[in-house]
Chains A and B, each alone.
Chain A
Amino acid sequence: MFKYYDGTNWVTLDEIKFFRGYTSGNQVWGSRFYTKVLGPKQEWLPKPKSTTDTRITVTWDVAGRTPPPEIPVDPELPPEPTYPVPNLIGLTFAAAVTALQAQNINIGDITYEITGVLASDGLIKSQSLAPLLQVYANTNVNLVIYEYKTPQAVIPELDGLLKTAAEKAITDLGFLVGTSLTEETYDTTLIGRVKANSQYPAAGETFDIKTIVSFDYYTQKPYSTMPKLIGKKESEVWTLLYNASLTPGTVTEVETADKTLQGLVKAQQYNEGQQLQVDTVVNYTVYIPNTTTKVPLSLVGKTIPQFEAALAAVDLYPGTQTEFETTTVALEGTIKSITPASGTTVNVNTGVNYTVYVANTTTTVPVINGKTIAQATSTLTTSELLLGYKIGEIETATTALYNTIINQSPGSGANVQVNSYVDYYLYIPIKTATVPSVIGYDISTASTVLSQAGFYLGNQTGVVYTTTQNQIGKIVSQSLTGTQKLGLSVNYTVYQLNPNTTVPNLVGLSEASARTALTNAGLNAGTVTYTDAGTSGTNTVGNVHAQATSTGSSVTRGTSINFSVWKAHVFVAVTVNKSATITLIPDKATYYGSGNRRPDYPPYLFGQYVASTGDQVSWFNFRDSTVASAKTAAGAPTTATISAATIYWTMATGLGSSTKTVNLGYLYAPYSTGAPGSISMANVTKSVQSLGIRTNGSSYSTALSGDMISYCLNAPSWPMIVNASSSSTTAYGGLTDLYVRATINWTETTYV
């Protein structure tokens, strides 16, 4: 369907034709061609799409569900009778029941409606079905019935009202004023007014009139007179306040050192005679004994009794005593220091620690090093000490130091008991002597000689090798000679046997001579190996030809020297497998046909060449002598075996078919040396090996089978047969240029 726009409306066309061009000069118009338009984006529209969208409608029926059961209506029965609803309004309930029952109508739901009109109590107010409405029997009619109740009012809010105003509010609503309770208060804004939340019933609740409404209200509370507390004992305060209907409050304590004031009231919160509210809390202040004091001044330098008296005056006592030694006699027994210091505030009845001077029991060791004995004794006496023992002497070459102290014990500065000893070391001149010569002495003798002279034998510092037996162990040299300090050690060197020897030349010596040479040199013969001297004859069997350690080497005595000696050569048999190739040409041949003998030269014919001749064969002979000669010529013994052989031939031309089958066989002819004048075909075994289908004029080679080699090439050999595959003349043929190339094998034994 197509539409075109005529300027006002779209007009529908059934079909449209398109001009397709000219064919044979005629205009061609066609219909039902698809068209495209070029869209604003230079796209041809519509784009390729599906042929046509599918729209399929499928229908089915759906049965309704099972309807609920209905009560069957019997058409035979007469119509149900109806009755008019009676007018029940204004009737009593009993009268209404009677009226309904008279019309066979039932009473339905009953509801009640409150009324304040006593006369309406129990009468029908309304009915659910209108009077005179025709209804079926047993139809329900619901009723509304008046119910009288006493008038009620809402309890007024009384909180904060003056008592008279509250009573008026109660009576104005028809309620009665109940019994009131009072509560005393000093709040002038509340006095005479209703106490909050005290009314009953509570405001807002609905009650019958004449209900009693009660409430509480506030009245003036009386005052108390403040008594005098100052100067009273604290124990009297509670009684004084209680009698005045007042309450003791916070007690503040004030310390005093005045014993007469301690325990009395110092001050009170309210003045004597002041009017106060009952149960007012009254605070007051009380003197109490002091709990702290100050450490007295000028305690240092006092004697112990003076110190104790000064502390007792301020409720303190002496604490821990510490002694401090002094060499000043005047200070002994006086206070050196105290803790805590004077003026410090401390709790009463606590101790003051102190340090007291005492006579000294120790002293400090002075320096006595460098002093002479006399000087040291004087110095120590000043320090209440004594010169003790000389611990030792130190030799010195410095003359100025002779007989002065070099070291002391205890050292200077040490704190020691008075009248104790100070020991010391003393410098003295060095002691010397002449060192004796110990060269040529053995060790033991040298030690004795040196010891007797005031010296010591020291360490061995070296050796000197010697081969002179009586020098071994004797001293060669000594480290010290001449005048030396006594007690020094003299080191030394001694002779020692040379542990090494020179290796002799063993090459060329007999083994026995070589062993002797080693023994003479202090050496041992080591491992001796024997080397094949070979067959050259230049090596002397039994002589040394090499040594493991070079001649002239210096080695430790007792070393083992290995060397090697020539030994005789031994010959060994060796078997060698050998092989060669030999070529064999048959030297005898013939053609057997119809019992006639033929020339003994090729071709070796086979088969039937005309119909009358029958099946024929040729035989050719590799004689034992021919084979033996070939083996000899190849350097092999005649016993050499043939392990493989290949027969070579050319198919003769012009005979029979161009291709045919060639077979080999053999002739049983033991000891045959030539071509027999006639042979019996009964002795011929044909077709032992097939040489295949072959073509005239072509050359071939084929490996001979084991049977053919065994029968025809190994002595005693039999003649070889060539035969056709059939008696047909097409199978007729001949072999030329025939020879066999065989591989022979043998063994040879040599000695090396």
Chain B
Amino acid sequence: MKLFAASLTRNGSAESNSFVSNINPDPVTNEFRIYPVEIPTTGGSWFEDVTTAEVDNAGYLVWAGSTFNKYMNASAIPDYKYGYDPMWNVEDTGTYQFIDKVTGETVTIEGGYLGNPKLQDAPEVLTAKLDCKLQTRMLLVYNDSPNTLNNVKVRIDDQTLRGTVVELTDGTGGEWGYYQLIDGNYTVEKDGADYSPANAKIVLTSTGGLGNSTETDYIPQEITIPFLDAAGTEGAWFLGYLTMYVTKENGNYAGTENDYITIATQTVA
């Protein structure tokens, strides 16, 4: 199994934060092509270093406007502002209490949603999650073996879960998908004799734009690819997305150096 980053040119640079603005789609079909390139592993060369300004701008600010007449206990605000706790996938039965500014009543929001913070419903969680998004990368999966494979797993095998948290999602996602796929699927074209990494290119349309929304109200870490054709064929390719979110500050405002994720494939159960 091989994993690749995406580039807008053959043997070009892997996608970066400016990837979306560099897309030049066909004016009629909105299609554009991406090319597999090696994933840069040098620090900050694929997922770029996150600045203080980016951290400050990201995150979900609860009830900042005039729409709501409730405010939150001051001690809970950091949890919301930098809401993506590393323990996102842990079910927390704790509660948050709010004080109604008009009546003075104490309002209790029960816990029990997956992860932190405790938002009122799933759509609000998605909105908060979207507000905490920092960067997105496409992950191209290629079957380099001569055999067809079933149920290949690709997962984030390890990550620091401190400054940021990264999720891995299926590239065939529906309305929440980052790209509008052609006929519900991406098309693979070739420049040479076969669909090997040196020749293949993935056709996408840019109708939806990159990272319009997220699909789940938690941070998925693993995808399962039901079927991959043998190496060199059109069906040997699969598309996934890596999305980075800011996490709750741990208190010392120092940030995290060498924040990392390890992506791994598993071809045999």
Interface residues of A (CB under 8 A from B): 46-67
Contact = CB atoms under 8 A, between A and B. Distances in A.
B243 interface: no
B105 to A, nearest CB: 25
A60 B260 contact: yes
> Would you list the 9 A-B pairs with minimal beta carbon distance, nearest first?
A62-B163, A64-B255, A67-B253, A50-B145, A64-B253, A59-B260, A50-B267, A63-B52, A61-B49
A59 B252 CA distance: 21
Given A54-B1, A54-B3, A61 B147 contact: no
A60 B44 contact: yes
Nearest to B163: A62
A53 B147 CA distance: 14
Contact of A62 (B2, B50, B145, B264): B50
B55 A50 contact: no
B46 interface: yes
Given A53-B267, A59-B44, A64 B262 contact: no
B263 A62 contact: no
B260 A57 contact: yes
Contacts of A55: 157, 262-265
B267 A49 contact: yes
Contact of A57 (B145, B164, B262, B266): B262
A207 B133 CA distance: 65
Interface in B134-169: 143-147, 149, 157-158, 162-164
Nearest to B250: A64
A50 B149 contact: yes
Given A61-B258, A63-B55, 17 more contacts: A48-B146, A49-B267, A50-B143, A50-B144, A50-B145, A50-B267, A57-B262, A58-B262, A59-B41, A59-B260, A60-B44, A61-B44, A62-B50, A62-B246, A62-B255, A64-B52, A64-B55
A56 B268 contact: no
Contacts of B191: none
Interface of B: 1-3, 39-41, 43-44, 46-52, 54-56, 82, 143-147, 149, 157-158, 162-164, 246, 249, 252-268
A60 B50 contact: yes
A354 to B, nearest CB: 91
Given A65-B82, A66-B52, A66-B56, A58 B265 contact: no
A205 to B, nearest CB: 30
B115 to A, nearest CB: 20
A67 B268 CA distance: 47
Given A50-B143, A54-B1, A67-B253, A59 B259 contact: yes
A63 B49 CA distance: 8
Contact of B255 (A52, A54, A56, A63): A63
Contacts of B249: 64-65
Given A48-B147, A67-B253, A53 B43 contact: no
A405 to B, nearest CB: 113
B262 to A, nearest CB: 4
23 contacts: A46-B268, A51-B145, A53-B267, A54-B264, A54-B265, A55-B263, A55-B264, A58-B47, A59-B41, A59-B44, A59-B258, A60-B47, A61-B256, A61-B257, A61-B259, A62-B50, A62-B55, A62-B164, A62-B255, A63-B50, A64-B249, A65-B82, A67-B253
Nearest to A68: B253
Contact of A58 (B46, B256, B267): B46
B50 A61 contact: yes
B41 A64 contact: no
Given A54-B1, A54-B264, A67-B253, A62 B143 contact: no
Nearest to A47: B268
Contacts of A58: 39-41, 46-47, 260-263
B262 A56 contact: yes
B132 to A, nearest CB: 12
A47 to B, nearest CB: 8
A53 B263 CA distance: 11
